[in-house]
Copies of this chain bind each other. A is one copy, B any other.
Amino acid sequence: MPRGFGVGPHWWCNRFQDAGFRITVPRQAILDLLNRTHEHLSAEDIYLEVHKIYPAIGLTTVYRTLELLVNMGLVFKFDFGDGRARYELSQGPGTLKHHHHLVCTGCGRVIDYTEFIEQEKELVHRTERELSRKYNFKIDSHQIQFLGLCHNCQKENK
C-alpha cells in the first residue's frame, strides 16, 4: 500500500516478471536494503532493518524471499560458521566485484577480498572444465573462504 515506496522500475523487475513472480512491497523492501548495503546480513538483520521502514513485514516472508532470490541467482547465501545464514546481493550496480571471504574464527568478522581474483578465475575455469568432464557435474558457482584470526583476535590469544 505505501504508494510510492521504492516504486521505480528497478533492474530486477524484469527478472521477476519474466519468471512470473509478483513484485510485492516486502520483496522490494528487501532488495532495496540488500542493494544499499555491503554487509553480510542475516535473515534477522534484514527483518529488523526492513521492519523500521515497513513494520508489517514478517520474518517468515524474509526467509521466503531470500530463498526465492537465491534460487533466482540474485543473492548469494553463505555460512560463516556462526549458526545463521548470511546473504549478499550477487549483481546490480553498487554490488562488489566478484570476491571471496576471509572469516575470523575468533570474532566472526568477515572481510571481502579481491586479490588474485584474476589468477583465481583462470584456475577456477580450468578446474570447472576438468571436473565437469570427469564427474559429469554441472557447476553453477563456487565459494572460497580463508579461515583464521583477524588483527584484533591475534593479540587476545597472546
Contacts and interface: CB of A to CB of B under 8 A. Distances in A.
Interface of A: 77, 79, 81, 102, 104-105, 111, 113, 115-116, 119-120, 123, 126-128, 130-131, 134-151, 154
A146 B123 contact: no
B116 A136 contact: no
Given A102-B135, A137-B111, A151-B136, A130 B116 contact: yes
Given A102-B131, A123-B123, A137 B116 contact: no
Contact of A138 (B113, B120, B148): B148
Nearest to A142: B146
19 contacts: A77-B81, A102-B135, A102-B137, A115-B127, A115-B134, A116-B123, A127-B146, A135-B150, A135-B151, A137-B146, A137-B148, A137-B150, A137-B151, A139-B146, A139-B147, A140-B148, A141-B146, A142-B147, A143-B145
A139 B146 CA distance: 6
Nearest to A147: B141
